[in-house]
Structure 1
Amino acid sequence: MGKKIVVLGVSGSGKSLIGKRLADALGYPFFDGDDYHNSSNIEKMSKGIPLSDQDRFGWLSTLNALLKNHECAVVACSGLKPEYRDMLKKDLDDVSMLYLKGDFDTIWQRHQKRNGHYFKGQDMLKSQFATLIEPSQSEAFSLDISQDADSVFQQALAYIKQ
């Protein structure tokens, strides 16, 4: 039986980068949660309007279905609250969660270097930090993103392979 891995963190924490590298290293399919938002959510975010719980519920259900439909998979998803993470894991018992932990300033600097992403503005990032309830140690393995991406990836891979 394969593993299902969810890489968590606020926008700009490196979920897609680390998730894709993990998927490639493990031979698993990778799914970027951003690709599964509906057009209404994308339109809101591109205007700098934070998503509500209601906006996120259908999206989280879609990501849960992706996990259910694949024996092995890596999914990148913000998973900001315990109830969101519960929705991702609903009816699954083989999900490992990795949390990419970083401070606002580090992540905002990364955001300013991004091109072509619909997630716009400092207020949107502040909204994610305001919504964020960091996962407990029992819920997710936490990785400090102040180190370089290779170190984060190596620690994530070592955790998954244990």
Structure 2
Amino acid sequence: MMNRKYVVMGVSGCGKSSIGAALSQKLNIPFFDGDDFHPAENVQKMQNGQPLTDADRQSWLETLNTLINENDALVIACSALKPEYRNLLRQGNPDIRFIYLKGDFDTIWSRHQKREGHYFNGSAMLESQFDTLVEPNEQEALHVDIKQSPQQIIQYILANLA
């Protein structure tokens, strides 16, 4: 049977949550937003405009890995910025598929400025995510250009997961 575990990844504001939720509906499998699993200390740091460190992310990624291991099928939105983070998410799930929503700083920052009620605070935080990001290669993740409409993005993902 084809693997039914997907991580929709990329920097904050690339569309992980909205694309992940839409993809899960199309595939009829559960969706989880990784942001919902951050410990309170991480949320507090981000609200204060402080980028997270690898140490801050460790327990969060372990929690997400447990979630992945406990579900037969799911879509999870998670930044997964570094190979080490993706490796941790992949533990026990060697066939998990990463879907990388790829965009440039200006496109994503313009989206951020339209968001309301999100704890992610400031262009410096987004710059730190771009600084931290080690893009996955084409074998590790399906690369998706976020300049397309959400419908086009979903169609592209579904066509390329087959």
TM-score interval (norm. to shorter): over 0.9
Confirm or deny that 1:115 pairs with 2:116.
Answer: yes
Alignment correspondent of 1:47: 48
Structure 1 portions without partners, runs of 5+? none
Secondary structure of 2:98's aligned partner: strand
Matches within 5 A, 1:120-135: 120-135=121-136
Alignment correspondent of 1:28: 29
Return the offset for 1:91.
Answer: 1.5
Return the offset for 1:148.
Answer: 1.4
- Equivalent position amino acid for 2:22 in 1: R
- Equivalent position amino acid for 1:64 in 2: N
Secondary structure of 2:8's aligned partner: strand
Alignment correspondent of 1:76: 77
Alignment correspondent of 1:138: 139
- Equivalent position amino acid for 2:63 in 1: T
Q: Which consecutive segments of 4 or more residues in structure 1 shift more than 4 A? A: none
Matches within 5 A, 1:80-95: 80-95=81-96
Give the distance between the partners of 1:49 and 1:80, measured in 2 at CA.
Answer: 17
Alignment correspondent of 2:156: 155
Give the distance between the partners of 1:87 and 1:50, measured in 2 at CA.
Answer: 20
Return the offset for 1:18.
Answer: 0.6
Confirm or deny that 1:57 pairs with 2:58.
Answer: yes
Percent identity over the alignment is: 54
Give the distance between the partners of 2:95 and 2:137, measured in 1 at CA.
Answer: 18
Give the distance between the partners of 1:38 and 1:113, measured in 2 at CA.
Answer: 25
Q: Across the two proteins, how many residue pairs are aligned to each other?
A: 161
Confirm or deny that 1:18 pairs with 2:19.
Answer: yes
TM-score w.r.t. structure 2 length? 0.97
TM-score w.r.t. structure 1 length? 0.97
| More displaced 10-residue stretch of structure 1: 49-58 or 90-99 | 90-99
- Equivalent position amino acid for 1:156 in 2: I
RMSD: 0.8
Give the distance between the partners of 1:54 and 1:42, measured in 2 at CA.
Answer: 14
Give the distance between the partners of 2:68 and 2:53, measured in 1 at CA.
Answer: 23
Give the distance between the partners of 1:101 and 1:136, measured in 2 at CA.
Answer: 12
- Equivalent position amino acid for 1:106 in 2: T
